[in-house]
Amino acid sequence: MLAFAMPAGITREEVVAIAALAELDLEPAEVERLGRELGDILAYAEQVQRVDTTGVPPTTGAAAGLVGDRADRLGPSLAPSVALANAPEPFLDGGLFKVPRVIGS
Amino acid sequence: MTIRDIRDAVRSRARSASDVCRETFERLERTEPSIGAFNTVTREQAVARAADIDRHFDRWRNAPLVGVPIAIKDNLCTRGVRTTASSRILEAFVPPYDATVVTRLESAGAVIIGKTNCDEFAMGSSTENSAFAPTHNPWALDRTPGGSSGGSAAAVAAGMAPVALGSDTGGSIRQPAAMCGVVGLKPTYGRVSRYGLIAFGSSLDQVGPLTRTVYDAALTLGVIAGADPADATSTPEPVADYVAALSGDIRGTRVGVPRALVEQGVDHEVSDAFVQSLNVLASRGATLVDIDLPHAKYATPVYYLVATAEASSNLARYDGVRYGYRAPGVKDLRSMYTRSREHGFGAEVKRRIILGTYVLSSGYYDAYYLKAQQVRTLILRDYHHAFERVDVVAMPTSPTPAFRLGERVDDPLQMYLGDVFTVSANLAGLPAISVPCGLTGGRLPIGLQLTGRRLDEVTILRVADAYEQEAGWWKERPAL
């Protein structure tokens, strides 16, 4: 028995909505193709739903038990000019990354 | 040439680091045009570095990798050297710092010769998802080298470098190693620092070596392993002497074989080579034990739910603000994000971002992501139970030998299914190695995978080395 109702595929609208969450623009042809491919992949992933996981905790990482906390110490960091060296639009004097206008137009 | 040969020659002054460097680039210039293993070749820096080692030889004489040329996967940061992850979005990125593994290799006397091609952001199993060009398999130029560390595997297989670093999130070191006939080692999660590795699936990613021999893999692991304050998931557990562990003696070592898993969907030549390799292990005194990993068959779907979720989060940082590509002529912040990402990412990366965002989104989180993480626990427990009865688990590395360029590129699900034997070691955080175990009738390499207990690289290296010595497949070379 399935624990959840599975979608038959992903609709065009869903792909567009998910792409917006991911800050991705997609060409119309890409939307069509992704909807189809993701439907296939999710149909395949549906088998995971058949596994009984009652009372099973999730594994969120693989380092459990191998690492401890380290001391929280200040260390050297990149100079502003170095940190800005790869910026598409650096503002070196201010030590800032410039971006298009956010508020108003 | 192996690392060991080169190191011994340089150490005994039979050859200088500069001799080795010059010969390396002579071979690279002849071979690289037909293979396409490199995104960037750092000849000038390598020549200067080798000369520096020769000039201050007394300081370097005892360094474990003195004068050894090494290729670095292009998703590991190298200070001052372009690091692209084979993506348009990082095409012009020049890191301001070195990955910890790069620092350690240089401190050990290694000479970096270039940055190797890979699937974009290490997402893929064929290196065809590189934004620049595919890499060709040295054994058959019309075939892929596997992936995502295909450039690293091809560079070693073609003799352009005795060693290359790769990264392995779901098999990206082991699978191309198998398909190119070289050794590939994915260490235990936490054994090697991830600092400076461009993140894909942060609970799965691990850096490791691709080499001609198991000895060389052991030697390289000893250099790159160890705690790093810059990576909170790197473990302070002591680093073993991996080379000293290669005793050749595997009498009484228990090798688990998950029969039910490996008897389905495996190419018959791969299957035959696997059975032969088990016979070789038994002839050296290992005990074969049938085991069951009942949830391993779910590893591939679990992996593609977990890895894409983590990828969608990790790749949110590419927004055109601080580094990387920014789309020109945008009028507001939002369209700068969306258009930079649309133009900067390739098809597979977008596919995974969308899938990962979907499985993390409200309404689907419990059904997909949480469920996958619970099944991940069951996969981990299966291994835990198995390792109460056996010391290593043996499987083929890949169900098929190298496939043709273009063969799977339009069928993402088919591509994902090829990862069936490699992804579970990442989900469980376990060390695993691929070692050459045969050739098909058409002379395509086949790999044997050995998975070990957490932090027990020593045992898989010892078994792989004993196998390699007995079987001798590592001596086979592609006819280039």
In a domain, residue A35? The reply is yes
Task: Determine the pLDDT at residue A105.
Answer: 57
The chain-wide mean pLDDT, for chain B, equals 97
Task: Determine the pLDDT at residue A96.
Answer: 95
Q: For B56-77, what is the mean pLDDT?
A: 98
Selected residue with higher pLDDT from A65 and B62: B62
Q: For B92-104, what is the mean pLDDT?
A: 98
Q: Two tokens at B403?
A: 């496939």
* Residue B316 to residues A40, B124, B420, Cα–Cα distance (Å): 25, 19, 28
Task: Determine the pLDDT at residue A5.
Answer: 43
pLDDT over 60 at B361, yes or no: yes
In a domain, residue A38? The reply is yes
Active site residue B172: yes
Smallest CA–CA distance from A79 into chain B, residue: B96
pLDDT over 90 at A1, yes or no: no
Q: For A51-80, what is the mean pLDDT?
A: 89
pLDDT over 70 at A94, yes or no: yes
Q: For B342-353, what is the mean pLDDT?
A: 97
Collect all residues of chain A within an 8 Å Cβ-Cβ radius of residue B353: 22, 24
One of B86, B87, B148, B152 is an active-site residue; which one? B148
Is there a contact between A102 and B319 if contact means CB atoms under 8 Å apart? Answer: no
pLDDT over 70 at B188, yes or no: yes
- The strand pairing partners of B450, in sequence order, are B394, B433
Task: Determine the pLDDT at residue A4.
Answer: 43
B194 in reach of chain A (CB within 8 A) = no
In a domain, residue A87? The reply is no
Q: What is B278-347 written as a DSSP string?
A: HHHHHHTTPEEEE---TTGGGHHHHHHHHHHHHHHHHGGG-SSSSSS---TT--SHHHHHHHHHHHHS-H
Q: What is the pLDDT of residues A7-36, one digit of tens each?
A: 557 889 999 999 999 999 999 999 999 999
pLDDT over 50 at B372, yes or no: yes
CA distance, residue A105 to nearest chain B CA (Å):
8
Collect all residues of chain A within an 8 Å Cβ-Cβ radius of residue B333: 99-102
Interface probe for B, chosen from A38, A99, A102, A105 (most Cβ of B below 10 Å), is A99
A61 in reach of chain B (CB within 8 A) = yes
pLDDT over 90 at B66, yes or no: yes
In a domain, residue A18? The reply is yes
Q: Which domain holds residue B51?
A: 3-254+389-475
Task: Determine the pLDDT at residue A6.
Answer: 43
Is there a contact between A18 and B301 if contact means CB atoms under 8 Å apart? Answer: no
pLDDT over 80 at A2, yes or no: no
User: What's the domain count of chain A?
Assistant: 1
Is there a contact between B235 and A49 if contact means CB atoms under 8 Å apart? Answer: no
ipTM for the complex shown: 0.91
In a domain, residue B363? The reply is no
pLDDT over 50 at A93, yes or no: yes
Q: Which of residues 76-95 of A touch B (CB under 8 A)?
A: 78, 82-83, 85-89
The chain-wide mean pLDDT, for chain A, equals 87
Pairing assessment for the beta strands B163-167 and B69-73 based on DSSP bridges = parallel
Query: Cα-atom radius of gyration of chain B, to the nearest Å?
Result: 21
Domain with A29 in it: what CATH number? 1.10.20
pLDDT over 60 at A79, yes or no: yes
pLDDT over 50 at B473, yes or no: yes
Is there a contact between A22 and B353 if contact means CB atoms under 8 Å apart? Answer: yes
Q: Which domain holds residue A21?
A: 12-50
Is there a contact between B377 and A59 if contact means CB atoms under 8 Å apart? Answer: yes
In a domain, residue B172? The reply is yes
Task: Determine the pLDDT at residue B201.
Answer: 97
pLDDT over 50 at A61, yes or no: yes
Q: Which of A93-102, B163-172, B376-385 has the lowest mean pLDDT?
A: A93-102
Q: For B277-306, what is the mean pLDDT?
A: 97
Q: For B255-261, what is the mean pLDDT?
A: 96
Interface probe for A, chosen from B123, B202, B375 (most Cβ of A below 10 Å), is B375
Greatest C-alpha distance within chain A: 63
d(CA B170, CA B428): 11
CA distance, residue B210 to nearest chain A CA (Å):
23
In a domain, residue A1? The reply is no
Task: Determine the pLDDT at residue A73.
Answer: 87
User: What's the domain count of chain B?
Assistant: 1
Task: Determine the pLDDT at residue A103.
Answer: 80
pLDDT over 80 at B187, yes or no: yes
With beta carbons less than 8 A apart as the criterion, state whether B186 and B432 touch: yes
Share of chain B above pLDDT 90, in %: 98
B233, B334, B367 member nearest A63 (Cβ): B233
Collect all residues of chain B within an 8 Å Cβ-Cβ radius of residue A52: none
In a domain, residue B180? The reply is yes
Active site residue B313: no
Collect all residues of chain B within an 8 Å Cβ-Cβ radius of residue A100: 330-333, 335-336
Active site residue B148: yes
In a domain, residue A23? The reply is yes
d(CA B452, CA B432): 6
Instruction: Name residue, tokens 């011994």.
Output: B8
Is there a contact between B412 and A49 if contact means CB atoms under 8 Å apart? Answer: no
Q: What is B36-83 written as a DSSP string?
A: --EEEE-HHHHHHHHHHHHHTHHHHTT-TTTT-EEEEETTB-BTTB--
Locate the DSSP E strands across B357-427.
Answer: 392-396
In a domain, residue A83? The reply is no
Domain with B15 in it: what CATH number? 3.90.1300.10
pTM for this prediction:
0.97
Q: What is the pLDDT of residues B2-36, one digit of tens each?
A: 999 999 999 999 999 999 999 999 999 999 999 99
Q: For A59-70, what is the mean pLDDT?
A: 85
The helix (H) or strand (E) run that includes residue B255 is strand B254-257
CA distance, residue A93 to nearest chain B CA (Å):
16
pLDDT over 90 at A66, yes or no: no
Q: What is the pLDDT of residues B270-286, one digit of tens each?
A: 999 999 999 999 999 99
pLDDT over 60 at B439, yes or no: yes
